[in-house]
Amino acid sequence: MYDFAVVGVGPAGARFARRAAEAGYDVVAFEKGEVGTPLACSGHVSDDIWGYVPDEAREELLQNEVYGARFRVGGPDSTPYPFYKEERVSNVIDRVELDRTLADCAREAGADVREGHTVTGVDERDDRVVLEVKKADRVGGGTETVEARMVAGCDGPVSRVRRAVGLPEPEEKLHGVLAFDRTPDGGDFVDVHLTAPTFFAWRIPRGEAGVEYGLAAPPGVEVNDMFDALTDAYDVETDHFCSGAIPVGPPETVTTDRVFLIGDAAAQTKPFTGGGIRYGMAAADAAAETIDPADPATLDDYESAWRDELAREIRLGKLIRKCYSLPEPVQRLGLRALSGEIGVHMDRPSSFFSRTHLRRLLR
């Protein structure tokens, strides 16, 4: 019997598998397809990402560096309101290769990472969790039963683990889409359009890899039509279209007696961007540091630890998102007043109130 079984080997699952294996636990991790595919989200991340990967991975992962963002209330021809730093604000990375790099780190730490394995059943018992796992034909086919003292559900916004054990859903799920124009663009500003209901659309230059276009909106909005309008406005043709759910708002609990959720499955995401790479890996670290698979009571410690780390940022992120729904004249007034050099961290809304940022505003 394993100490931990991890369902889903995205950033959160791979990070937890690595940290738990480094702590000496016996870890198995299941990914239903190939790690990193299909692409499900953007690769626009803060400098914090480099603390989670080996130093030598940076050159292979990095596609472009970003120094600011142009916010617009309308389309590409509308007035831009620039927010920028003199130093790098963020990075554009190869999102698929990030997942593969993190999975390799987990393997090197001793975790048994199995691709082509789909968890189809989760049976939580008093002293263990029994998983039913279907193997893809390319890895031998058939099914197997795997037992673990605890299970980490890291299987994304539409989590099978979450449903199987009856944990509550995220507060909401947005519908996100993105695609790529392969024309190289080394620009150092992203474009953010406050044109999607309660959220936004974006354009991210990815260096030699081209340009990413995307948007997200609540259920019921015709996001495909809005995406077509966005790319038509930029007069580009895109390929590799991706679509998926973006969970926003963690539920009151993400644990049972022997199961815990991490990452998108727990809606550990930024409400104002939908990004969850850094938040999910921070929660994975909290889980590895607090959970003892032989002691279910330590799951309460995990609940406290990840919320101590992220709850304030998530709460402030919700306030920022409310600004996306303000009347357009108010949005323009606010963007005009606040635009210019900033002192904020893209993963930490609390940095908006930092001394560095307030000094720059006063300038």
Q: What is the pLDDT of residues 61-100, one digit of tens each?
A: 999 999 999 999 999 999 999 999 999 999 999 999 999 9
Q: What is the pLDDT of residues 290-299, one digit of tens each?
A: 999 999 999 9
How sure is the predictor about 353, in pLDDT bands with cuts at 50, 70 and 90? confident
Residue showing tokens 């039963």: 145
310-330 average pLDDT score: 95
How sure is the predictor about 32, in pLDDT bands with cuts at 50, 70 and 90? very high
How sure is the predictor about 39, in pLDDT bands with cuts at 50, 70 and 90? confident
Per-residue pLDDT for 363 more than 70? no
Q: Is 122 exposed, middle or buried (0-12, 13-18, 19+ CB in 10 A)?
A: buried
How crowded is residue 297: how many other Cβ atoms within 10 Å of its Cβ?
9
Q: How far apart are CA 360 and CA 358, in angstroms?
A: 5
Structure-derived torsion over alpha carbons of residues 45, 48, 52, 55, reported in degrees to the nearest 10? 100
Per-residue pLDDT for 357 more than 70? no
The 3 state secondary structure assigned to the chain is CEEEEEECCCHHHHHHHHHHHHCCCCEEEEECCCCCCCCCCCCEECHHHHHCCCHHHHHHHEEEEECEEEEECCCCCCCCEEEECCCCCEEEECHHHHHHHHHHHHHHHCCEEEECEEEEEEEECCCCEEEEEEECHHHCCCEEEEEEEEEEECCCCCCHHHHHCCCCCCCEEEEEEEEEECCCECCCEEEEECCCCCCCEEEEECECCCEEEEEEECCCCCHHHHHHHHHHHHCCCCEEEEEEEEEECCCCCCECCCEEECHHHHCCCCCCCCCCHHHHHHHHHHHHHHCECCECCHHHHHHHHHHHHHHHHHHHHHHHHHHHHCCHHHHHHHHHHHCEECCCECCEHHHHHCHHHHHHHHC
Which residues is 314 bridged to in the sheet? none
Rounded to two decimals, the pTM is 0.95
- Residue 343 is predicted with a pLDDT of 84
- Where do the domains of the chain lie, and which CATH numbers do they carry? 2-43+94-171+249-322 (3.50.50.60), 323-362 (no CATH)
Return the structure tokens found at 43.
């690769």
Mean residue pLDDT of the chain comes to 95
How sure is the predictor about 360, in pLDDT bands with cuts at 50, 70 and 90? low
Q: What is the pLDDT of residues 202-228, one digit of tens each?
A: 999 999 999 999 999 999 889 999 999
Return the structure tokens found at 253.
């609990």
How sure is the predictor about 355, in pLDDT bands with cuts at 50, 70 and 90? confident
163-181 average pLDDT score: 97
